[in-house]
């Protein structure tokens, strides 16, 4: 959907997004480790050390995920706003970074709803963006393949 703007930049967006999703999978898998550590809290005297090791090893991955989300969002916004992508310009407003900011605002101003949205904000943001992306793609006519 972004390739008509710039093939190399579209590839960069794909690579940044793929890297972030891979790191996201690793981080999500790590949550089982911290849950097990917390459940064993009374059985292990060095609990605080285990929690600090977890934070050192895995919580830093969240910074990578956040960074790739911001980079990917701004690449997409810039490419979509050129008007040369297969997306309509309005879809730039439904990018993951803006949706995550909306989730934070929802949590701050409507905590009764935001408390359910905030823990899944990152996944929900990408789910909404990709759902709209699929919807827009289905509205388009097939694009002929480019010659190599």
Residues 6+ apart with CB under 8 A from 107: 114, 115, 117, 118
pLDDT at position 147: 66
Q: Tell me the CA distances in angstroms from 37 to 40, 56, 98, 134, one per residue in order.
A: 5, 15, 34, 40
pLDDT tens, 28-83? 888 777 777 777 766 667 777 877 887 887 778 888 998 999 999 999 999 999 99
CB burial of residue 68 (10 Å; 0-12, 13-18, 19+): buried
Vertex 67 angle, CA 64 and 68, to 5°: 85
Cβ 116 vs Cβ 100: under 8 Å: no
Arithmetic mean of pLDDT over the chain = 88
């Amino acid at each position: 959907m972004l390739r008509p703007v710039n093939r190399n930049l579209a590839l960069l967006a794909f690579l940044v997004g793929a890297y972030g999703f891979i790191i996201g999978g690793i981080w999500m898998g790590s949550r089982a480790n911290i849950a097990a550590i917390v459940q064993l809290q009374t059985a292990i005297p060095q609990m605080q050390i285990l929690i600090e090791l977890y934070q050192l090893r895995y919580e830093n991955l969240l910074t990578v995920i956040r960074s790739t989300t911001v980079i990917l969002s701004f690449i997409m916004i810039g490419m979509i706003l050129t008007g040369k992508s297969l997306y309509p310009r309005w879809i730039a407003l439904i990018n993951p970074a803006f949706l995550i900011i909306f989730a934070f605002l929802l949590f701050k101003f409507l905590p009764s709803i935001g408390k359910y949205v905030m823990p899944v904000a990152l996944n929900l943001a990408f789910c909404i963006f990709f759902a709209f992306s699929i919807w827009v793609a289905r509205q388009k006519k097939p694009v002929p393949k480019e010659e190599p």
